[in-house]
Amino acid sequence: MKCPRIEFDLQKIRQNAEYIKEICSKSGVQVMAVTKGYCGYPPVVKELYNAGIRNFGDSRIENIKRMREAGIKGEMTLIRIPMISEAEEVVQWADVSLNSEIKVLQALDNAAKKQEKIHKIILMVDVGDLREGVLPDDLEGFVSEALAFENLKIIGLGFNVGCFGGVLPTEENTQLLIDLAQNIQDKFGIKLDILSGGSTCALPLIEKNELPQGINQFRIGEAIIIGRDSTGNRCVPGTRQDTVKLVAEVIELKRKPSMPIGKIGKDAFGNTPVFEDKGIRLRAILAVGRQDADPEKLIPLTDGIEILGGSSDHLLIDVTDSEDKFFVGKEVTFGLTYGAMLRLMTSEYVKKITI
């Protein structure tokens, strides 16, 4: 089969989706499956739909369009705050978008008028992670301006943590969102149906039953597709991690010294490489490179192999201590982190398949 390729195990992904959906629903939380990590790859998203998920979120309008064109039903949310220049497409393809700028709302409202649609908005509040969001003190003023847009409907508030500032979700910052929502509802006499409280890294609040009452949506990517929580540096209990794999092919296999010969300058990416002298080692080169995924983010699944590094098109592994038989043409399989999967999916050199 063609290499390199990324393989999605649909049955295992479905198990993860069903499990996450179940623990969330016990806490009164609806799951929006975040599909950006796999570019909205339709076969995977269809499986999530079959698992009962009806809300999908992606950071790129191209991915949302792709899912729609593949016939995927359910509600689609653009989860990266939109560019003004893409307002028309956002209204055309997404039902909902997350927002934090009046100027963007103005552009969405104009587009919605033209397309004779009502576009739904979740306002993002920054509770401390310092990525997107209106600061809590500015929220009232923001809402009063936003309510003037006739073709937009504010359906809720959301917040984001664990991304830029690495701030973790807690009872306190989650409660803040609930209090703000209460205040907005009282002040303006509107109903906010959605309180969108978190991503994978907020799942511990549900696991420990510490989620404040009122949060009713989680936007979950990583825990479903790969069973991991990078921010919390853990595997999510109850999920599988062996859902997505990379298969790459050996194009050279030779015994070589472990120390380069000659004067050492910088590598192809401007870093100064450091080597340990382990004598002569059996090394394999695989035909996949940094263009496709960072070597450091791949997880060897074969005992005894060590990832040495890579260049833009080559991945170097030391296979001296492996009991597996290596040969030119052999396929080698790796587990993936979320970051590796994301990069592999955006590489047009990597074939995408489901099993």
Identify the residue among 95, 129, 222, 292 touching ligand PLP (CB under 6 A).
Answer: 222
> Among 28, 80, 34, which residue's Cα sits nearest to residue 53?
34
Position of minimal CB gap to ligand PLP = 221
219 binds ligand PLP (CB under 6 A): yes
- Sequence-ordered list of residues with C-beta below 8 angstroms from that of 355, at least 6 positions apart, any chain: 7, 8, 9, 10
200 contributes a contact to ligand PLP by CB under 6 A: yes
Specify whether 352 is catalytic.
no
Q: Kindly state the smallest distance separating residue 158's Cβ from ligand PLP, in Å.
A: 8
Q: Is 163 helix (H, G, I), strand (E, B) or coil?
A: coil
| SS3 (DSSP) at 337 | coil
Give me the least distance between CB of 253 and ligand PLP, in Å please: 37
CB of 229 to ligand PLP, least distance (A): 7
Smallest separation, CB 185 to ligand PLP (Å): 23
Single-letter amino acid code for the residue at 42: P
C-beta of 222 vs 249, nearer to ligand PLP:
222
Nearer to ligand PLP, 105 or 201 (CB): 201
Catalytic residue among 21, 36, 120, 245: 36
Q: Specify the residue, 63 or 200, whose C-beta has the smaller distance to ligand PLP.
A: 200
164 versus 275: smaller Cβ distance to ligand PLP: 164
Kindly write down the DSSP assignment for every residue of 106-162, as one continuous string. Answer: HHHHHHHHHTT--EEEEEEE-SSS-SSSB-GGGHHHHHHHHTT-TTEEEEEEEE--S
The stretch near ligand PLP (CB under 6 A) out of 219-227, 232-240, 290-298, 309-317 is 219-227
Q: Return the residue of 14, 21, 36, 343 that touches ligand PLP, per CB under 6 A.
A: 36
Instruction: Report if residue 239 touches ligand PLP, rule: CB under 6 A.
Output: no
CB of residue 68 vs ligand PLP: minimum separation in angstroms?
19
Q: Which stretch binds ligand PLP (CB under 6 A): 102-110, 204-212, 217-225, 262-270?
A: 217-225
Calculate ∠ Cα 201-16-70, nearest 5°: 100
Q: Is 221 one of the binding residues for ligand PLP (CB under 6 A)?
A: yes
Say if residue 188 is exposed, middle or buried (CB neighbours under 10 Å; 0-12, 13-18, 19+): middle
d(CA 327, CA 260): 23
Give yes or no for a cis peptide into 4 (omega within 30° of 0).
Answer: yes
Structure tokens at 31: 């799951």
Q: By rule CB under 6 A, what count of residues binds ligand PLP?
A: 12
Least gap, CB of 259 to ligand PLP (angstroms): 40
At which residue do the structure tokens 């847009």 appear?
Answer: 149
Residue (174 or 322) nearer to ligand PLP, CB: 174
Among 3, 29, 31, 34, binds ligand PLP (CB under 6 A): 34
Q: What's the token pair of residue 98?
A: 């997350």
Site for ligand PLP in 46-105 (CB under 6 A): 59, 79
User: Binder to ligand PLP among 199, 217, 239, 322 (CB under 6 A)?
Assistant: 199
Cα dihedral 191, 196, 23, 207 sign: negative
Owner of token pair 């390729």: 5
Per CB under 6 A, the list member of 16, 160, 217, 337 interacting with ligand PLP is 160
Handedness of CA 344, 58, 61, 65 (dihedral sign): positive
Whether 130 contacts 165, CB under 8 Å: yes
Interaction site with ligand PLP (CB under 6 A): 34, 36, 59, 79, 160, 199-200, 219-223
Question: Catalytic amino acids?
Answer: 36
